[in-house]
Amino acid sequence: MIKIQPHIIQEGSVQFQLGELTGNKISYNFPKILIYLEAKGKLLFGKNFKIYSEDEAILYKLCIYFIRDFETCKKLEIDPNKGILLSGPVGCGKTSLMKLLPHIVPHQIKHIVIPARNITFNFNKSGFKIIEDYGNSGFYCFDDLGVETTGRHFGKDCNVMGEILLSRHDLFLKRKLRTHATTNLNAQELENRYGNRVRSRMRQLFNLIAFDRECIDKRK
CA distance 33 to 17: 8
pLDDT confidence tier of residue 1, bands split at 50, 70 and 90: very low
pLDDT confidence tier of residue 213, bands split at 50, 70 and 90: confident
Q: Tell me what the mean pLDDT of segment 35-52 comes to.
A: 95
Cβ pair 142, 181 in contact under 8 A: yes
pLDDT for the residue 183: 97
pLDDT for the residue 219: 73
Q: Across all residues in the chain, what is the average pLDDT?
A: 93
- pTM equals 0.93
Q: Tell me what the mean pLDDT of segment 65-70 comes to.
A: 96
User: Which residue intervals of 67-114 are DSSP H helices?
Assistant: 70-75, 94-100
Cβ pair 123, 117 in contact under 8 A: no
- The domains located in the chain, with CATH, are 8-210 (3.40.50.300)
pLDDT for the residue 92: 87
Q: Which of 65, 92, 74 is nearest to 183 (CA)?
A: 92
